[in-house]
Structure formats: structure tokens, C-alpha cells
Structure 1
Amino acid sequence: MSIEQYKPDYTVEAVYDIAVEDLKKLGIEAVLVDLDNTLIAWNNPDGTPEMKDWLYQVQDAGIQIMVVSNNTKRRVTRAVERFGIGFVYWALKPFAFGINRALAKLKVDRSKVVMVGDQLMTDIRAAHRAGIRSILVKPLVQHDSINTKFNRARERQVLKKLEAKYGPMKFHKGL
């Protein structure tokens, strides 16, 4: 296992701290975003006003946005359908299948796409496998669903290795 496969390109406090201007400067035309604990808290399927504002800002800037989630169709649909956002469910992250399905729908060159997620083991690893840039954000809430607890334990080990090689991970208020 190469530890670089888990190293995010950028680290940002929260998805809402990613400014449209910064995405444009990087040439980003499409944002793929994880759902649970990235876009919405896993225990709040309706999201927040801050989330809605960020989604509209990205869309208004002409940047495509698509949710790529390992969750069920029902859960993802409930969270994003009212925003007119496309999504891929059962994405099978850390594999690239879901990201590749999203890219096929969006028809955007990989060099102009970024994946935003809260987990090194799934979101960042899948982005590397798909050949796109990645942004790691802090989880919106500190407690996870049962399904995520196993990944978090493994993630702590990977984070120690990343920090031993690259230094402490610093989260910023923007890119």
C-alpha cells in the first residue's frame, strides 16, 4: 500500500468553506461531493441553510455538482432531489466505479474535476484511483454511523503514517 494514495490534494475545514472563486482559479468545472458527514450530517438528512447556500453558489457559477455516495438510492434521493443535483448511489468507494459513473454523466475532463469528502479511506482513495484531485474536509459531526466506525479506525492508522511522512494535516478555511 502506497501511503500517497490516501493523501488529499487539499484540506479544508468544511465543504462550505470551498469558495467558488477558488474552484474557478483551479479550472474546476465539476465538483463531486460525498453525502454523509461531508455535505450533510449523517443524522440530518435534510441538511442546513449553509449547505443549501453553498450548493446554489456552486451551481450559479456554472460549476456542475454531483453527489457520489456509498449510501442507498433512497437516502441520497431524499437529501438532494430538491436541489436538482445529479447523484451516484452505491458508489463502492474506495473503488473508482462511482466516480467513473459520475464522470460519464457529467462529460467533463478528469483534470477539471475534484472530489470532496470526509474520509481518507473511501473518498480520497477513490479520487486517486479515478485520477482526479481531492479535497479532504473534517466530518460535520464527530460521531459516525455504525457503517463508518470501522473505516475511521483504519483511517487513524493511515493518518499517522501520512503525518509521519508529510507532517501534521492542517485544515484551512479555503483552498
Structure 2
Amino acid sequence: MITKFKPTWMIPVIYSISPSKLQDMGIKAVFSDLDNTLIPWNNPDGTPQLRDWIDQLKKYNIELIVISNNKHNRVKRALESLKLNFISRACKPLPRGIKQALKKYNLDSKQVIMVGDQLLTDVWASNNANVRSVLVKPLIESDAWNTKPNRMIESVIWKKLRKKFSNLDWQEDINDRN
């Protein structure tokens, strides 16, 4: 059961993921969580680094699609300036939102990765949908009220993951070893 929470890769921040490596791996789309992964949960403006990374993805013909548990209007408002496609009310950790995006954008699970800052929602949903996952560190240390219980549970899961998988470590970028 603990394997369901194991990320494929662990990268400190989403915009450290190399679009050229993604292209080499046959990735056509990056699915991303919204809050504390793409943007801070309490600030909808993307950083200059994020905007540059989105531009680089476009140069490599890789689409960025947000998959969020938030309500439609919240996601739409948050992404207005970034002009990104999204799936709202994804019901992560269920694979529903990821599978919906695969179907809507005519993608195969091997053509995407899912990036998120939570084991309990993003990584677990990825594994449930048979999609490779990238765990990132939260952009800011504070969380929305509804995320705080997940972080407490995650601390227990981390202990079990580290016991079972001694090679879990943060990398500078993804690679094709997984």
C-alpha cells in the first residue's frame, strides 16, 4: 500500500523540470496541481520563472494542464493571466481528473507526467491513474486550511516511504531512470 504514495521523481520546484528532457521522454503534456505547486495558494500571480518555464514548454510543444480539486471559478480566476487549460473538481486522490484530462486532450498515460506538492492527493492520484509523478516542495510554507490535515498524515507516510525506499531523494531535474 505504501508504494501508492511513492513519487516517480522529486524535484524542488516545477520550473526546474527541463522541457527538452520532457520532449526526449515523449511527454506531450504536463499535468499540474494548482496551489503551492504552480502558484502559491494565497497569491494567484505566477512568478517570472514560472512564466519563463511555461514559454519554454510551448517552444517544445508541451502543453501545461492544471488538474485541481478546487471549484471551477477558483481555478479559472487563478489561471486567467496564465491562460492555461484546466480540470477542476478533480477529486484527487481518485484518478478521475487525470483520466478526464487524458480523454479530453487525447493523450496516453505515457505521454504525460503529473506534478504536485502533496503525496496524499497528487502523487496518489498519479499512481492510481498509472501516470508518472513529480513531487515538488510547496512554494510557500503555509497551507490553506483544508490542506493542513493532509500534511500531518503525510509526515507518517514519509517515515514509511523512507524506510521502504532508501533512495528517495531530491533531484535537480527528471531523468529517464524511472
Q: Is the 8 A contact 2:46 2:82 kept in 1?
A: no
TM-score of the superposition, structure 1-length normalised?
0.95
Partner of 2:153: 154
Offset, 1:80: 1.6
Q: Is the 8 A contact 1:47 1:79 kept in 2?
A: no
Decide which moves more: 22-31 or 140-149.
22-31
Moved over 3 A (4+): none
Determine helix, strand or coil for the equivalent of 2:81.
helix
Q: Is the 8 A contact 2:44 2:79 kept in 1?
A: no
Q: Is the 8 A contact 2:28 2:61 kept in 1?
A: yes
Partner of 1:83: 82
Alignment of 1:19-34 (within 5 A): 19-34=18-33
Partner of 1:47: 46
Gaps of 5+ in 2: none
Gaps of 5+ in 1: none
Offset, 1:168: 6.1
TM-score of the superposition, structure 2-length normalised?
0.94
Decide which moves more: 118-127 or 102-111.
102-111
C-alpha RMSD of matched pairs (Å): 1.1
Partner of 2:7: 8
Determine helix, strand or coil for the equivalent of 2:149.
helix
In structure 2, distance between residues paired with 1:44 and 1:81: 13
Aligned residues: 174
Partner of 1:104: 103
In structure 2, distance between residues paired with 1:47 and 1:21: 22
Q: Is the 8 A contact 2:2 2:161 kept in 1?
A: yes
